[in-house]
Amino acid sequence: MVELANKLNSEYKISFLSLYDYKPYIKFKGNYFTLDAKKEYPLYHFPLKIIQYIFRAFKIYQICRKNKFDVIVGSLEETNIPILLSKIIFKNTCKIILSIHVNPKIYLKNPIKKFIIRKTYPLAETVVAVSGGQKSVLETDFNLKNTALIYNLFDEKEIIKKSFEIIPKDEEILFNENTYITVSRLVQSKKIDKLLLLFKKIQNENKRLIILGDGPEKDHLLNIIKENSMEKNVFLLGHKNNPYPYISKAKTFILTSESEAFGMVLVESLILGTPVISTDCEFGPREIIAPELDIMEKITYPYAAKNGILLDKEDPLKNFEQLEELTSNLKKPLKTEHLDRFYSKNIYKSWERIITK
């Protein structure tokens, strides 16, 4: 959202309002405001949570009134609900646009959250989903009639520019024509353990797997690597502020998540001309890799598409022999004309239409 705000700032007077005080970390060109939140009450402390929401709603109303804002765009559930309450309780006159950056199905598990969203989100002018799958769930399970699809904004020129940065020589020598890569938080939901089992099946002395990222699963993953004697083929290089030089050098990018709101790193990989293999998880990978498929269409795995390969979310090794053949046929560099729908100029125009209508 910061990148979008900076682009809009060239033609509109944009301010940034954060829930927590992130000013030292945000490179933003306009005015900066913060609710300076210190503590989150979980929803099971319902009375305290409601009081917290109302308090934040009042602060949002005050900021909007004092600065005479015309439009407010929310991007987190913890801010979306107070923004809407500022309209319901305090009669905030700003046009309200909400954006969803998580899998909305997580809210279905909590009847209170589901109820709040179903009752408040219709009061927004527009609820923006970053994937078609998200949009479908919002319409079907939350009965929202005010949704719109706008993909995450990608600055393709900046991504390509950053991909030319030099990486350390001791890391560069790990890459060859058969190097696979993933970039991920090392947490259970990303299923890096499944990726290691998949790589164990396809590895030989020439194939390598680079894992960029940190997280609580690191020690567990190192144990899997050691137990399966993959130390010479699999390398955990930690978190990288700029992963693009690594992605651009790899033969293929692999994603094995059980759930994604969109899967931005898949688009970033394709922008760099690196083919992708991904589990067909909710949401995003299917729209990115195989846009010719309907979101709910049943397919046989592995599914080869123009931009890469889709794997069964529950069993990535399904029909392994076919997968190995398809993987060997992935070629670089990919043509990127079909990625226009993700590029900054088109995303910017979509946001501008919603904000100004």
**Is residue 95 scored above 90 in pLDDT?**
yes
Look up tokens 């970033």; give the residue: 268
Q: H or E element: which one contains 208?
A: strand 208-212
CATH number for 156-339 (one of 1.10.3720.10, 3.40.50.300, 3.40.50.2000, 3.30.43.10): it is: 3.40.50.2000
Amino acid at 204: N
Strands 303-305 and 308-311: antiparallel
**Is residue 252 scored above 70 in pLDDT?**
yes
* 156-339 matches 2-154+343-356 in CATH topology: yes
Q: Two tokens at 311?
A: 């794997």
Distance (Å, whole) CA 120 – CA 182: 38
- Whether domain 2-154+343-356 has CATH 3.40.50.2000: the reply is yes
DSSP state of 107: G
Q: Where are the domains of the chain?
A: 2-154+343-356, 156-339
Q: Two tokens at 342?
A: 């993700």
pLDDT tens by residue, 166-212: 999 999 999 998 899 999 999 998 999 989 988 888 777 789 999 99
Q: Two tokens at 110?
A: 């909590």
DSSP state of 113: H
Through-space distance between the first and last CA atoms of the chain, rounded to whole angstroms: 20
- The confidence band for 336, taking pLDDT boundaries of 50, 70 and 90, is low
pLDDT at res. 333: 60
Nearest to 126 by CA among 89, 72, 90, 79: 72
pLDDT tens by residue, 115-173: 999 999 999 999 999 998 899 999 999 999 999 999 988 889 999 999 999 999 999 99
pTM over 0.95: no
Q: Two tokens at 8?
A: 């809009």
Distance (Å, whole) CA 155 – CA 342: 9
